[in-house]
Amino acid sequence: MTTDRTAEAQTGPEDPSLLQKRVDRRGALSILVGGLAAGAAAVGACAPLSAETDEEREVKLLAWREYIKGNYRVMTEEERAETIARLERLAQLQRGVDVTIQSTGAQPGVLFGYAFNVSKCKGFRRCIEACINENNLDRNADTQYIRIFEIEDGVVDLDRGDATFQHEVPAEGHFYLGTQCFQCADPPCVKVCPVGATWQEPDGITVIDYDWCIGCRYCMAACPYWARRFNWGAPEVPPEEVNPNQHYLGNRARKKGCVEKCTFCIHRSRQGRLPACVEACPTGARVFGNLLDPDSEIRWVLANKRVFRLKEDLKTEPRFWYFSD
């Protein structure tokens, strides 16, 4: 940091590259008024325009338009379609992958709920594997939304659980309990966001607009369940492993410095499919469904099983229940 400052002092404001680096949102908007071409040049790298290929110029223009777009929640349908078209094109140009980004909204009369059978889970972590592949999680930092805790029989203290076990499972005298984002009905993470980049959708899924997130990580501090993950670097997913079925609020490409978390596989669940973790679980420990449908599996579990939630005293009302056989 100090070295950077010294270098800055030495080169001074004459260095055009430094001038361009200092463009903030307001400054950028004024440049935009002057003309889109100038704006694109200001945001992009310093290569002279003449040496640019058409593709490079297109990337810069798209990236620039992405930079000045609004919050997804207040976008009109047209604006959403435009940003999705840009993001799909950018994925093609920058990563060489053809992706489809949905903007599917919540279905009316649907409120998602999840139940986890602590008697059934054997700690195989197949859910984590499926989650990584399905949600295009950063392979470099090995981001994982789900944690599976190995806990001694008779212990109800999660602090004494171990999520880093690496031995043959199930281990004698232990049970396994998985956590992920619980999609609270009263989410503290949403309350603390200073920019409104995270909110709760009508079907109960708390989502993040990755492009509106400023990376302050207040939400991570507020979440009592440690459900959110931060991108310290730009997430890396090999192009051949990218899941092209994406949602704007879900598993699309994230950028460096934004927060992400489990969305109950919003791109799947809103189409009536089960989240990847549910489908991957080899023991059937995971139950997912519509809380408002009295005939759903999740309602059967709530009505017929003894259930509990984690940290209920905090009144965050998680929509994630644990039960046993």
Binding region for another protein (CB under 8 A): 115, 117, 120, 122-126, 128-130, 133, 141-144, 147-149, 159-170, 220, 223, 226-230, 269, 272-274, 278-279, 281-284, 287-290, 295-298, 300-301, 304-305, 323, 325
Smallest gap from residue 85 Cβ to another protein (A): 28
Cα-only R_g, the chain: 22
Smallest gap from residue 126 Cβ to another protein (A): 6
In the complex with another protein, the residue whose CB is nearer, 207 or 227, is: 227
Smallest gap from residue 239 Cβ to another protein (A): 17
In the complex with another protein, the residue whose CB is nearer, 12 or 272, is: 272
In the complex with another protein, the residue whose CB is nearer, 60 or 122, is: 122
Residue pair 211/235 in contact (Cβ under 8 Å)? The answer is no
Ramachandran sector of residue 86 (left: φ over 0; alpha: ψ -120 to 50; beta: rest) = alpha
Smallest gap from residue 101 Cβ to another protein (A): 20
Sign of CA dihedral 16, 17, 18, 22: positive
In the complex with another protein, the residue whose CB is nearer, 153 or 325, is: 325
Beta bridge pairs of residue 64: none
Q: Which tokens go with 64? A: 């620039």
Smallest gap from residue 230 Cβ to another protein (A): 7
* CA angle, 256 then 204 then 234, to 5°: 10
Residue that has been written with the tokens 């092209």 in this structure: 244
Task: Return the number of other C-beta atoms located less than 10 Å from residue 217's C-beta.
Answer: 15
* CA angle, 97 then 102 then 105, to 5°: 165
Phi, psi angle pair for 207, to nearest 5°? -120, 170
Smallest gap from residue 113 Cβ to another protein (A): 10
Smallest gap from residue 211 Cβ to another protein (A): 21
Q: What is the C-alpha separation between 63 and 163, in angstroms, rounded?
A: 39
Smallest gap from residue 104 Cβ to another protein (A): 13
Q: What is the C-alpha separation between 131 and 137, in angstroms, rounded?
A: 8
In the complex with another protein, the residue whose CB is nearer, 266 or 298, is: 298
In the complex with another protein, the residue whose CB is nearer, 83 or 290, is: 290
Give residue 87's Cα distance to chain centre: 16
Beta bridge pairs of residue 294: none
In the complex with another protein, the residue whose CB is nearer, 60 or 270, is: 270
The answer to whether the bond into 170 is cis (omega within 30° of 0) is: yes
In the complex with another protein, the residue whose CB is nearer, 15 or 297, is: 297
